[in-house]
Amino acid sequence: MSDRHVYRIHHQTTYQYALPVRLSHQVLHLTPRELPWQACLSHTVNILPQPQLVRSYEDNFGNIIKAFSLDTDHTSLDVQADSWVALSARGQPQAQMAWDEAAMQMAYHGGRVMMPGMLEASNFLFESSHVRIKREFIRYAAECFGPGVSVLEGVRTLMLRIHEEFAFDPAATTVSTPVTEVFVNRRGVCQDFAHLMLSCLRSIGLAARYVSGYLLTEPPPGQPRLIGADASHAWVSVYCPGVNGAEGSWIDADPTNGVFPDTSHITLGWGRDFLDISPLRGVLIGGGQQSMQVAVTVLPAEEAQGLQLSI
């Protein structure tokens, strides 16, 4: 990669349990993806208590999963992922096909054989646990996607509209708040805005996926960068079919910040919504009441060399 940006990402999740946990099965989505503009230079995961075996495999969307089990009593669980990632500029997104033509191409036609890229994208056309297809989302998106408007311009307009009309408010929602409630209250966090934008896009027939990752944030002028104060980030990626049999393209869009992601957005993976790609998810026996703390640090390489990031 030329003119690359190198980052270190430290993601720590700690659970405390009121009672001993006798059995725990956990799945991690913490390995950055390999992409044309992103290379994962190194990735390690440290788990306490230490499991006997950590398995790695790919899910249905090509994300790297690490899975482990603990079958001895424990009252805490600490998972620390440390990654070094290099990014290069993606260039301006290209998707000049009219959105209504794109939606027509993505629609089901009996007997037609889809190109591989379109077939993969069709996984992201439908409702999922956190994404809804509803008339109110069609009406909201219609003001951004007029007849003949290109996919790119429609996505840009919808992204900016959500960015301008919805307030970032971490106290307004939880991970289980329905997207319809977010739409009414006009408040939420990046996860909510991604689910909302996905609901709008899928409601008008466009294929769009939920992207999980990190965002490099800059401290106020003159202030030091805080360790552990960052968070996971989420945005969307919209599919535009190719013309005359050419390969289609994906357009990433960040409605929380109103920007097309580039060298400050680090991609972990993607799925239909948050549930497909949540950083840590599992089932356990025992434990009683539990608490969770998450600390994320994203640092440019020049600030990260030799720095101890365990919280």
Instruction: Please check whether residue 179 is in contact with residue 196, taking contact to mean a CB–CB distance below 8 angstroms.
Output: yes
- Whether residue 13 is predicted with pLDDT greater than 90 in this model: the reply is yes
Domain ranges of the chain: 5-88+277-304, 99-275
SS3 163: helix
Cis previous bond, 93, omega within 30: no
pLDDT tops 70 at residue 10: yes
Q: Which of 232, 278, 221, 227 is nearest to 63 (CA)?
A: 278
For residue 9, the surrounding DSSP H or E stretch is strand 5-28
| CA dihedral of residues 301, 305, 310, 311 (deg, nearest 10) | -70
How large a percentage of the chain has pLDDT more than 70? 92
* Three-state secondary structure call for residue 275: helix
Angle at 211 between CA 149 and CA 249, to 5 degrees: 45
Tens digits of residue pLDDT in 72-98: 999 999 999 999 999 999 987 777 889
- 231 φ, ψ (degrees, to nearest 5): -150, 165
pLDDT of 231 above 90: no
pLDDT of residue 1: 40
Q: What CATH number belongs to 5-88+277-304?
A: 2.60.40.2250
Query: Considering the entire predicted model, what is its pTM?
Result: 0.92
CATH class of 99-275: alpha beta
